[in-house]
Structure 1
């Protein structure tokens, strides 16, 4: 291929993924800002003193970020960075369960800051209220059930 053809091919592919790249990059930047500010260390110290399970803590951190930002991707990336000091001493099954707990927390209550919320709303022709009563509640149920399953699995592993 000639230079012009390569430029045209690559240039036409970027608009389709540009939004995803920006969200992931913003989530990574936000996570790194919190990690550099020492938020992960503070959360780790608080967790050690509280006796709270790292799985519940990871889920709660992801839920908080999801509610604040609306993005499951940002919640996952940021929560993983914040609880990473806790993950350092975990065995492989515990680490896998922590990943699942964070993933479940990142799904909690999709709302108006979430692109998926608007996609579902428009695709099904619902009002904001209807979308909250259906989609947002369903996402919350998935999140809570996911945490419960992770905690049950933690008993056996």
Structure 2
């Protein structure tokens, strides 16, 4: 895997594939949070679509207020946190975590930090922009979660959010 990935790259190849037990639809993470999802698999390699790709979406919630929506890549290095009614409590600096309800990403993985909240304008939803915690331009090693149904975040991660 190359050392850096310019923003216009919304996917990457990893040197693990069918021979290693990988399959399409598995979540991919790094220490900081979600990186993406496996979208293609060959015998020795797999393609990972990054969380900032327009075709990647994570059912997520604001860790502090539990406001729930869909974090979808915007193709420009960030995610849109969509379908959040204006009345729901979302603030700049909030942490977004996976809800576990999309069938791909297990509950409790860090998605990113809310960087913009816009409640003005027309419509029933607020506009929320999220910056991923994972530095997707400098990925060197990733973790593919082989059995996301049984994954549980470390206890200290859960307690950290209950402050």
TM-score (norm 2): 0.30
Larger Rg: 1
Q: Which has the higher helix share?
A: 1
Q: Which has the higher strand share?
A: 2
